[in-house]
Amino acid sequence: MRRNRWLQKSWKNRILVFVSLPWIFLEFGVPALAQETLVKEVKIEEITVSRKEDLATGIQKDKRASLQMPTDKVLEQIPGLQMIKRGNYAWEPTIRSLNAGQINVTIDGMHIFGACTDRMDPVSSYIEPNNLQRISLNLSPDFGNYGGSIGGGIDFKLKQSEFSQAPTFRGSLGTGFESNGQGIQTLGSLEYMGQRISLQANAIFKKSENYHASNKEEVLFSQYQKWNAAISAAYKLNHDHELHLNYIQDEGRDIGYPALTMDVAFANAKIASVAHHFHRSSTHQGLMHWQNKVYYNFIDHAMDDTQRPADQVPMHMDMPGQSRTIGFYSEARFLLPLDQLLDIRLSAYQNQLSADMTMYPDVGSPMYMFTIPDAERRHLSLDLSDKISFGSRFTTSINSTLTLSASHLFSEEGKAQLSGMLSGDDPARMDFLWNLNLRGDYTLDNHWGLSGHLGRTSRSASLQEYYAFYIFNRLDGYDYLGSHRLNQEKAFNANLGINFQQGPLQAEANAFGYFFRDYIAGRVLSDFSEMTIGANGVKQYQNIGNARLIGGELSIGVQIDENLRFRSSNTYSRGTDEQGNALPLISPFQTVNTLYWSLRGFHLDAEFQYDAAQQHVSLEAYGESPTPEVALLHIGGRKSFQIGRPLLTASIKIENVMDRQYYRHQDLMKIARPGRNIIAGLMLGF
């Protein structure tokens, strides 16, 4: 009770922060098979020009949505990205169903790690579209992915400060409402651009009550509220050199997780960086670009079971967690003879992760233990990428990452707790990792293009996989133990792409395969007894041998006439372990088909989405049961009005028009998703 009163008081103070408020439209689409890399990009803000060498094809600008859209929904709409859901907040991104330690999620190249042992706080929950210029998805580990990984990564590119010859102010203000859950949000941004100085601020506040599934069935513990604010400053030292400062603070409060046994009292992030940029005109050979950044971030997370009814809480617990990361990177791009582009990056970080649990039994004194016993990772990486063009038709790139990764327990208390399990072993680890990727792109003629990619990747286990101590996994109902004896997980990755373009038609198809060795998953320890009341038993992270993940993607875009466009995105993947068990949390076949219509400043879209049933599951090995198929319809409309210089945009969207009862295969505990939901927004850009 005391905690609640404290929360309310602190909220009142903090809402005062929301004086300034932002922004407009998010432009989003799938580039046709990007020839540079397998980068799919979401652009935020109409006015932004991306520096990336993406193909400005028709498919690129397929989708616009308000910046008011939550990060999770933006991510969910990118083909190849699927989200694991534990509630209405903080969904966890997966790339082609690869997740957690297998992918890198970074903010402008900064490594940052959630502090929750139940994975309630993926990195993407601490960032808002309002903070961002764009989102980059790398489907394979390439240079855009900081420090190597198995399954590529997501990098959230922060808004870039710009300079202007004449001093310029601009800003935005917006508000939004959702009928389902009575969600409200207010957001804004302000920006000053001068010749040498640039300043930016943006902020958002949002709050939602419990949402309702179809037929107005309330989903308890699905509420949330948060604020996020960012400030940045840039100073132009001279023609070529710039200094950049950036700070983001994100604070979530009273967040419900209907798929879990606990909620969140608070989830806070503080993310700071200082960077130096050097740019030179690209017509010269030699150094084109050099960037150095140092950063620090701190995540503070506390779970809360005090709001749950007593019969759901066999024993009250406090479960806080903290994550601290300090790091730097230095990257440079060189233009070499024969149009070669050479990228080099040296990066390092240190992450400290601590989580503990205090149990309060009805009788007797509280019991305390670590769930992550003060674990630390030091990571040093060298990324190299070289792109060479042979004539105008054939481009090849080679990309490599070399990494030293050291993991250990940094406190005596942490070591003491694990010592019983270690039988004298030192749990410290040192791993040398290497990744090598080759890519080739060949243009056959004006219509057809081909691409191929082969890669060898590896990762060290995450700190959770090394050192977890009785962390409960809701999916299979087991308590998990880490193991410092884990081998590196390795994968061989192959990708084949073909793209076609003629007149109004564009199409792109990809087939991919990931072939794992020493795949890391939980295996039952039959002579251990569980700690969590009601758990099925104890599992330990182990190398379970080989596993494979295969699949494909197909995108089609058609410009039917001047005002009418159609896009279809289709994805499929299938995962199997060495024993023939289906891997968990693999999305079934999904197709998203959208018709866009614009006339006299009105933009309308209708989206038909179908998820096939997922029958390829393993109850025994991973605790999963089948998921039925679902078909959904969403419609939206938008119109902008010019009022002098300011631009006012009104938008409305109806999600799940037919009020279908449904969930997706990656929704934990098969909690029903929202029924019909009307979302209205107003944005003013000035």
Binding site for Cu ion (CB under 5 A): 116, 118, 120, 303
What is the token pair recorded at 470?
């009785």
Nearest to 457 by CA among 486, 512, 494: 494
Q: Classify the phi-psi angles of 182: left when phi > 0, otherwise alpha if psi is within -120 to 50, otherwise beta.
A: left
Q: Quote the least distance from Cβ 486 to Cu ion, whole Å.
A: 23
Q: Quote the least distance from Cβ 372 to Cu ion, whole Å.
A: 12
Give the C-alpha separation, 2 to 119, whole Å: 26
Query: Maximum Cα–Cα distance for the chain, whole Å?
Result: 78
Q: Quote the least distance from Cβ 308 to Cu ion, whole Å.
A: 14
Give the C-alpha separation, 191 to 214, whole Å: 42
Nearest to 609 by CA among 588, 628, 636, 591: 591
What is the token pair recorded at 547?
């596993």
Q: Identify whether the C-beta of residue 650 lies closer than 8 Å to the C-beta of residue 684.
A: no
C-alpha distances out from residue 303 to 119, 263, 351, Å: 11, 6, 21
Give the C-alpha separation, 391 to 439, whole Å: 16
74 or 303, CB closer to Cu ion?
303
Q: Quote the least distance from Cβ 303 to Cu ion, whole Å.
A: 4
191 or 356, CB closer to Cu ion?
356
146 or 224, CB closer to Cu ion?
224
Q: Quote the least distance from Cβ 27 to Cu ion, whole Å.
A: 34
Q: Quote the least distance from Cβ 100 to Cu ion, whole Å.
A: 14
172 or 532, CB closer to Cu ion?
532
Give the C-alpha separation, 657 to 429, whole Å: 52
41 or 318, CB closer to Cu ion?
318
Instruction: Measure the CA angle with vertex 582, ends 580 and 584; round to 5°.
Output: 145
Give the C-alpha separation, 221 to 88, whole Å: 9
In the DSSP assignment, the letter for residue 518 is S
116 or 461, CB closer to Cu ion?
116
118 or 191, CB closer to Cu ion?
118
In the DSSP assignment, the letter for residue 13 is H
420 CB contacts (<8 Å, ≥6 apart)?
none
494 CB contacts (<8 Å, ≥6 apart)?
452, 453, 454, 455, 512, 513, 515
The position carrying tokens 């042979």 is 390
Q: Quote the least distance from Cβ 116 to Cu ion, whole Å.
A: 3
Q: Quote the least distance from Cβ 671 to Cu ion, whole Å.
A: 17
> Which residue has the CB atom at the shortest distance from Cu ion?
116
Q: Quote the least distance from Cβ 355 to Cu ion, whole Å.
A: 8
120 or 139, CB closer to Cu ion?
120
424 CB contacts (<8 Å, ≥6 apart)?
none
Strand 153-158 versus strand 104-107 pairing type: parallel
Q: Quote the least distance from Cβ 299 to Cu ion, whole Å.
A: 11
What is the token pair recorded at 143?
């240079």
302 or 582, CB closer to Cu ion?
302
The values of phi and psi at residue 322, to 5°, are -135, 145
The position carrying tokens 């302000």 is 190
Across 348-357, b (16+ Cβ under 10 Å) vs e yields: bbbbbbbbbb
The position carrying tokens 């600008």 is 61
Q: Quote the least distance from Cβ 117 to Cu ion, whole Å.
A: 6
Q: Give the dihedral of Cα atoms 524, 529, 533, 538; nearest 10 deg.
A: -20
305 or 508, CB closer to Cu ion?
305
44 or 372, CB closer to Cu ion?
372
181 CB contacts (<8 Å, ≥6 apart)?
88, 208, 209, 210, 211, 212, 222, 223, 674, 677
**Distance from CA of residue 312 to its chain's centroid?**
31
Nearest to 462 by CA among 93, 102, 97: 102
Q: How many CB atoms lie within 10 A of CB 9?
A: 10
118 or 508, CB closer to Cu ion?
118
Give the C-alpha separation, 318 to 326, whole Å: 27
Give the C-alpha separation, 605 to 595, whole Å: 6
116 or 158, CB closer to Cu ion?
116
Q: Quote the least distance from Cβ 360 to Cu ion, whole Å.
A: 18
Q: Quote the least distance from Cβ 118 to Cu ion, whole Å.
A: 5
Q: Quote the least distance from Cβ 266 to Cu ion, whole Å.
A: 10
168 CB contacts (<8 Å, ≥6 apart)?
192, 193, 194
465 or 508, CB closer to Cu ion?
465
Q: Quote the least distance from Cβ 267 to Cu ion, whole Å.
A: 8
Q: Classify the phi-psi angles of 585: left when phi > 0, otherwise alpha if psi is within -120 to 50, otherwise beta.
A: left
Q: Quote the least distance from Cβ 175 to Cu ion, whole Å.
A: 30
305 or 476, CB closer to Cu ion?
305
119 or 484, CB closer to Cu ion?
119
